[in-house]
Each structure stands twice: as C-alpha cells, then as structure tokens.
C-alpha cells in the first residue's frame, strides 16, 4: 500500500484522504519511508523535516475526524526547492555560503501552502544558487536522474523533478530563471510550469535574476499542475512584481480540449540544434494535437538564439548584484582567521561560493562595468524588447507555441562538466519565455531510443495559463488512452 500511495497523483490522494480511505499520517509516512530508501542514491533532499511533517499530518487527521471541511491540498506531501525560504527550517541554496542558515520568515508561497494544509517533507537539492542546468554544482553533492541514475536530472530544480519522478514528493515547487523548472521536468519525465512573470509571488525566493525568476509547480501530471498553480497564483501586496489577476476555475477549462486552438511551431527550434529523436517525438505530439482538432502551422521567432544569449547576460548581471549581500558579515559562511574586514569579504566569498557561482558573478560584474555596459547589458535589454515583439506578432495569429523543451535528452553525469557553455545551451528552447515574461509548460511526449524521457513545451501569451493547460491536458489524456490500447 505504501508503494501505491507514493505512485498516486495529488488529485487521487486528495480524494482518498477526503474519503478517509487513507490517513494523512499514513500518506506522509509512506513518503518518508521512500525518502529513507532512495534519497541516499538520488540526492534529491538536502533537509528532511520528518518530525514536523508527521505533526502536520496528525493535525490534518484530527480536523478531518472532527468532520471539518478541509482544502484540496490538506495532507498532501510537498517538497520545496532549497532557495524558497522556510521559517525555522534551513534554506541553503545548495551552497556552503548558506549552510545552516535558518530564515526567520516563510516565502509567500509557503504561507499559501500552509493555509492549504499541505505537508512539507523537506528542502530539495539544486544547482548552487540556481546557477546551473545539470544539478551537479550543489555543495551537498549532485542529484541523479531516477530514470537512469548515471544521468543528470537537469537543473537547477533537479532535486524537485527527481523527487516527484521517484515518488519522494507528491508535488514540488521549484524556480525557473531560464528553464530551471522545464528543462529538468523534461529530463525526468514530469510536468513543470513556469508561470507568467508576476502570477506567483517571488517574495521569499532567494533571487538569482529578479526580472527573470518565477516560482512554479512540478507534478506527475497536468491536472495536478493546474491544481497546485491555482493554490499559489495569488496576489501578494508585499511583492511589487505580483500582479492582481483572477484566473477562472481551471478544472472546468481542462475538459474543453484542444479543438480550435491555433498552435505555432517555430522553425528555429525544429532545426539542427535539436537532436533527431527529440524532434521526432515532439513532431508526433504535434500531430496528435492536430488530430484532436488543433490547427498547427510553422512560425518564425528569428531572435530565439539571440534571446538565449541575452538572457545569460541579464541573469549574470542581476546575479552579480543579488550575490553582493552574501559577504560573511551578517549571516552565512565566514572564513576563519581573517585580520581585516577586507579579508573577511575576500576569503568568505572565495571559500563560500562554488566555482560556477564565482564565474557568474565575475561575468556579471564585467557586463555591468563602465567599459562593457553598453556592449553587453544595454544590448541585452534591447534584445529583450525585440523578442517580446516577436512573441506579440506570433500571438496575433496563434493561441500557443509548441517547441521541444530541450535539445537533447538527459546526458551522463560529468559528461559536460568541463564545458559550461555546452551545459548552458540546454536552455536554448526555454530562455526566451523568461525574457518575455510568458507562461510555459513542459510535459512528457515520449522517449528516445534509450528510453529517456522527451519533453515538449507549450508557451502562451501573458496570463494564458488556462489555454496552455487545455492543450496539455488534451494531449496527455489522448496519449494515455493510446498507451492503454497498446497495452
């Protein structure tokens, strides 16, 4: 039964809990047992909050026994990326710099989950300070892909996607700056959403690049993604970037299907930069959507490649600014035996940050320096404006854009570690949506010849998450039906 519990979707668990066919304590215990069994080999969790989780579960069961009506997520186990602040629980960003740091407050999304009575299982591993695409840069060790433990899970939210794929969390919240939810979701065969910029509050998220970052859900299927998104897409008066936006009930929208939706396929992302097996799987998915009544046609987004490069410049520049507060003075790692404040800064940052973070800070400072600001940062902002216009032109004629999520499937651990630029190219399909602030979702659409998951990405106009969910759910249900017939 424990194995069955951890295989259930959020929606299935919610119904079982509401009917009292399983208790919250049984549910949480099953997940904790699986974490104990598998986390040593996967490295998905940095911190496991077993005692607190069981206490939360007991409270859910007590209230349910009294006959109280509880929220849909009551008793559902969740894992949080370790750059989302949690009061009383360490938030390390997978870095020596923040090892042992315990925030005095919750992120806004954590408060929302607590109001829904979701049960936090712990904090999930990631690339250090979210600067990476393979989840190999964590101070606490790499995360392994549960589909093939010799391969990377993707990053930077690799701990989140590995946990959901392996049944170590019913769902997870990650963050996405250039593809950090969607790329690992594709590698691990789960569903990951980057919401519209401003749809989900960033308050309490340790910032990488403030104009690009978004918190989003990682789930087993599309229905769960919509359910969790509804729970966290709330206006936050204390976040200046949070937009007051009311979404219609997504459960009803899911059933509307893909018929009549106009979907564009950018020719730039069906070119030689994408592997043949990935292209084949995504084109087959496009044909399935067409069979379901969607209208597909080729489109052009000529600045996609430039958007990817500009995204790196902007993220590095903003990261170099955001990292300035980690200095070994007020909190975080402080080097020993320093004779002056200059030495505290120098040695604390040198020893506290990993190689990839230091590289990003140095590049960001270069991009912002007097001699290079116009050439790099200023031009990157201009490209951002142009890519937004490209998307606007496409959305005048189309409802959604369909692309591969990644150019390849998951590669082996260590295979690309010596070439950071090649690793960064893993975001070539995803970065443009962050640059334009648009919603984008990755969902599984098959596998390569080695059995590794392939992900397809649906991009919508601002706040068009409902349309994305319509198309994604229609495809997912049709694919499930086809698999059952094949079996």
- Catalytic residue selected from 8, 81, 194, 416: 81
- Residues belonging to the chain: 487
**d(C-alpha 206, C-alpha 92), whole Å:** 10
CB 430 within 8 A of CB 179: yes
Distance of CA 438 to the CA centre of its chain: 14
Alpha helix stretches (DSSP H) within 197-254:
222-232, 250-254
Q: Are strands 262-266 and 214-219 parallel, antiparallel or unpaired?
A: unpaired
**d(C-alpha 315, C-alpha 209), whole Å:** 5
- The question of whether 156 is a catalytic residue gets the answer yes
Rounded-to-5 percentages of helix, strand, coil across the chain: 45, 15, 40
Q: Are strands 171-176 and 440-447 parallel, antiparallel or unpaired?
A: unpaired
CB 440 within 8 A of CB 469: no
Angle at 309 between CA 307 and CA 315, to 5 degrees: 95
**35 to each of 14, 51, 166, 353, 470, how far by Cα in Å?**
21, 14, 9, 28, 33
Cβ neighbors of 363 (< 8 A, separation 6 or more) are 316, 320
Cβ neighbors of 432 (< 8 A, separation 6 or more) are 301, 303, 304, 307, 308, 311, 387, 391
Distance of CA 320 to the CA centre of its chain: 22
- Catalytic residue selected from 29, 95, 133, 180: 180
Q: What is the DSSP string of 133-153?
A: SSS---TT----BTTBTTB--
- The question of whether 157 is a catalytic residue gets the answer no
CB 112 within 8 A of CB 338: no
- Catalytic residue selected from 156, 242, 315, 348: 156
What are the backbone angles phi and psi of residue 450, rounded to the nearest 5°? -90, 0
- The question of whether 81 is a catalytic residue gets the answer yes
Nearest alpha-carbon partner for 405 in 446, 435, 441, 438 = 441
Give the number of other CB atoms < 10 A from CB of residue 240. Answer: 9
Write out the two tokens for 249. Answer: 């009930």
85, burial (CB in 10 Å: exposed 0-12, middle 13-18, buried 19+): buried
> Which residues have a catalytic role annotated?
81, 156, 180
């Amino acid at each position: 039964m424990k194995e069955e519990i951890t295989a259930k979707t959020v929606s299935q668990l919610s119904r079982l809990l509401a009917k009292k066919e399983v208790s919250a304590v049984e549910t949480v215990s099953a997940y904790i047992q699986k974490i104990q069994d598998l986390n040593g080999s996967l490295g998905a969790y940095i911190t496991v909050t077993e005692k607190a989780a069981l206490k939360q579960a007991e409270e859910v069961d007590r209230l349910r026994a009294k006959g109280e009506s509880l929220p849909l997520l009551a008793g559902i186990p969740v894992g949080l990326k370790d750059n989302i602040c949690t009061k009383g629980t360490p938030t390390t960003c997978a870095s020596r710099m923040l090892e042992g740091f315990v925030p005095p407050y919750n992120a806004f999304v954590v408060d929302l989950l607590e109001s829904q009575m979701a049960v936090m299982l712990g904090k999930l591993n990631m690339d250090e300070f979210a600067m990476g695409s393979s989840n190999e840069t964590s101070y606490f060790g790499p995360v392994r892909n549960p589909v093939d433990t010799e391969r990377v899970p993707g990053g930077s939210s690799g701990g989140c996607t590995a946990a959901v794929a392996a049944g170590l969390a019913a769902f997870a919240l990650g963050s996405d700056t250039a593809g950090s939810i969607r790329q690992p979701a594709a590698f691990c065969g789960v569903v990951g959403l980057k919401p519209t910029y401003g749809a989900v509050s960033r308050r309490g998220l340790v910032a990488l690049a403030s104009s690009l970052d978004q918190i989003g859900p990682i789930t087993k299927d599309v229905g769960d993604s919509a359910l969790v998104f509804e729970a966290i897409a709330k206006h936050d008066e204390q976040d200046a970037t949070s937009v007051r936006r009311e979404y219609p009930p997504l459960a009803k929208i899911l059933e509307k299907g893909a018929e009549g939706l106009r979907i564009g396929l950018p020719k730039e992302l069906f070119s030689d930069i994408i592997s043949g097996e990935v292209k084949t799987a995504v084109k087959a998915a496009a044909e399935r959507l067409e069979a379901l009544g969607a209208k597909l046609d080729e489109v052009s987004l000529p600045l996609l490649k430039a958007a990817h490069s500009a995204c790196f410049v902007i993220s590095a520049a903003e990261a170099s600014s955001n990292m300035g507060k980690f200095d070994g003075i007020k909190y975080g790692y402080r080097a020993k035996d320093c004779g002056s404040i200059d030495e505290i800064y120098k040695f604390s940052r040198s020893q506290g940050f990993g190689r990839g973070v230091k590289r990003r800070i140095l590049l960001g400072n270069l991009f912002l320096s007097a001699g290079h600001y116009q050439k790099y940062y200023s031009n990157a902002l201009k490209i951002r404006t142009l890519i937004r216009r490209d998307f606007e032109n496409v959305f005048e004629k189309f409802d959604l854009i369909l692309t591969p999520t990644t150019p390849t499937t998951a590669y082996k651990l260590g295979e690309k570690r010596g070439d950071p630029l090649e690793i960064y190219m893993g975001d070539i399909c995803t970065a443009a949506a962050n640059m334009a602030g648009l919603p984008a979702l990755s969902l599984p659409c098959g596998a390569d010849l080695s059995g590794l998951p392939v992900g397809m990405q649906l991009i919508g106009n601002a706040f068009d998450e409902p349309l994305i969910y319509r198309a994604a759910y229609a495809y997912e249900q049709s694919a499930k039906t086809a698999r059952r017939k094949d079996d």
